[in-house]
Amino acid sequence: MLELVTFSTLNGVLYGMLLFMMASGLTLIFSMMGVLNFAHASFYMIGAYFGFEISRHIGFWPGFIIAPLLVGVVGALIERYGLRRVHRYGHVAELLFTFGLAFVIEELVSMIWGKAPVDYRPPPSLDFVAFSLFGTTYPAYRIFMLATAVAMFVFLILVLRRTRVGLIIQAALTHPDMVAMLGHNVPRVFMMVFGVGAGLAGLAGVIAGPALVTQPSMAALLGPILFVVIVVGGLGSLGGAFVASLLIGLIQTFAVAINVSLADVIGPTAAGIFGELGRAPLAQIAPVLPYLLLVLVLILRPTGLFGTRES
């Protein structure tokens, strides 16, 4: 039991930090431009595939650096030549643009790299056992992922809280007109934030690709969860996104690990009340849990856990 709790917590925190790497960019982009970027998980996927392609030619570590930068550039270009053009038609058009983009990216990726998962592996330098506890081993690559995610988190906080750039970004979130009056190029700030957000998602893809499965459906699988994270955390709230990421990471990891059904907990009456749901083990219901949480939060606290704005 202790073994299960320890490893599930570790994996849950890891998954949560990965989610946060994407959710942070998504929520920053949202609070700045009011755009929900449907294609954000696609940047994560592009990151994984770029990382895979680079690791095939020159190795994992160059890919670790280059791929997120490339994804960031792709994101900035999309903002500059796509999103900014659509902006004048309103938020719905922007949302639809990113929706179409996610679709096209998935098609392109499955065209270029095939529909089957690609063989993206952790580098040999990290392919060893970090520690073993209660007879179960924990791979070093996961520790590396966790370290990268935490480093990214600290970096993001420092940039936003302690630098001039962060100051301008924070000001542009709430008072874009005033920031523009002071002589800052707000559209360029938006472009940079979009690029950095995309790059962060790309980095998440590079480090998650070898540990999870790198396949064309990875964006469509993760995208909705990301939305759940930022709505549950409260739209536009970075702290909320952090808490919600960890919450959902832990919930999903524990749900998969714990093999009980409602029938085991409440007794055989559960099957009578909930039908098939009562008999289904928790692991099978696990994919439903984030969305249940979303609906619950929206009923009980429509602004999300830490949100202040309605929309």
Partner 1 sequence: MTGMRYLLCFAAVAVALLIAPVVFPSSVAITTMSLMGVMIIFALSYNMLLGQTGLLSFGHAVYYGLAGFCAAHAMNIIAAGKLPVPLPVIPLVGAAAGLFFGVIFGAVSTRRAGTVFAMISLGLGELVAAFALVLHTFFGGEDGISTNRTKLLAFFGYKFGPQIQVYYLIAFWCFVCIVLMYALTRTPFGRMCNAVRDNPERVEFIGYSTQRVRFQAFVLSAMFAGVAGALAAINFELMNLQSIGAAASGQVLLMSFVGGAGHFAGPVIGAIFVTFLQVSLSDITKAWMLYFGLMFIFIVMYAPGGMAGWLALHWPLLRNGRIVRLLPAYALAAVPMLGLALGGVMLIELAHHMLVQAASDGPQLSIFGIPMNGASPWPWLAALVLFAGGAFGVRAAWPRVADAWGRALAAPGTTKVNS
Phi, psi of 118 (to 5 degrees): -95, 160
Asked if 310 interacts with partner 1 (CB under 8 A), we say yes
**Neighbouring C-beta atoms of residue 4, cutoff 10 Å:** 13
Q: What's the number of CA atoms in the CB half-sphere (13 Å) around residue 97? A: 19
Is residue 283 within 8 A of residue 258, CB to CB? The reply is yes
If binding means CB under 8 A, how many residues of this protein chain bind partner 1? 46
Asked if 82 interacts with partner 1 (CB under 8 A), we say yes
**Which of 59, 100, 267, 268 touches partner 1 (CB under 8 A)?**
100
**Which of 15, 97, 141, 194 touches partner 1 (CB under 8 A)?**
97
Shortest separation between residue 287's beta carbon and partner 1, angstroms: 5
Could you tell me which residues come within 8 angstroms of residue 14 by beta carbon, excluding any fewer than 6 positions away? 142, 145, 146, 149, 249
The contact mask relative to partner 1 for 237-276 (x = CB under 8 A, - = no) is --------------------------------------xx
**Which of 76, 235, 256, 282 touches partner 1 (CB under 8 A)?**
235
Could you tell me which residues come within 8 angstroms of residue 2 by beta carbon, excluding any fewer than 6 positions away? 134
Is residue 185 within 8 A of residue 56, CB to CB? The reply is no
Sign of the torsion formed by the C-alpha atoms of 232, 236, 241 and 242: negative
**Which segment (20-28, 55-63, 106-114, 139-147) binds partner 1 by CB under 8 A?**
106-114
Q: 3-class secondary structure for 5-63?
A: HHHHHHHHHHHHHHHHHHHHHHHHHHHHHCCCCCCHHHHHHHHHHHHHHHHHHCCHHHH
Q: What's the number of CA atoms in the CB half-sphere (13 Å) around residue 32? A: 26
Shortest separation between residue 94's beta carbon and partner 1, angstroms: 9
**DSSP secondary structure letters along 243-267:** HHHHHHHHHHHHHHH---BHHHHH-
Interface of this chain with partner 1, residues 7 to 66, rule: CB under 8 A:
30, 34, 36
**Which segment (99-107, 156-164, 177-185, 246-254) binds partner 1 by CB under 8 A?**
99-107
Asked if 176 interacts with partner 1 (CB under 8 A), we say no
Shortest separation between residue 303's beta carbon and partner 1, angstroms: 9
Is residue 244 within 8 A of residue 229, CB to CB? The reply is yes
**Which segment (18-26, 46-54, 262-270, 278-286) binds partner 1 by CB under 8 A?**
278-286
Asked if 224 interacts with partner 1 (CB under 8 A), we say yes
- Give residue for tokens 């929520």: 27
- DSSP class of residue 176? H
> Count of H helices and E strands in the chain?
16, 2
Shortest separation between residue 44's beta carbon and partner 1, angstroms: 17
**Which of 4, 58, 93, 167 touches partner 1 (CB under 8 A)?**
93
**Which of 73, 143, 277, 305 touches partner 1 (CB under 8 A)?**
277
Shortest separation between residue 213's beta carbon and partner 1, angstroms: 18
Q: Which is nearer to partner 1, 200 or 225 (CB)?
A: 225
Is residue 145 within 8 A of residue 14, CB to CB? The reply is yes
**Which of 86, 160, 165, 168 touches partner 1 (CB under 8 A)?**
86
Binding site for partner 1 (CB under 8 A): 30, 34, 36, 82, 85-86, 89, 91-93, 95-97, 99-101, 103-104, 107-108, 111-112, 114, 220, 224, 227-228, 231, 235, 275-277, 280, 284-285, 287-288, 291-292, 294-295, 298-299, 302, 310-311
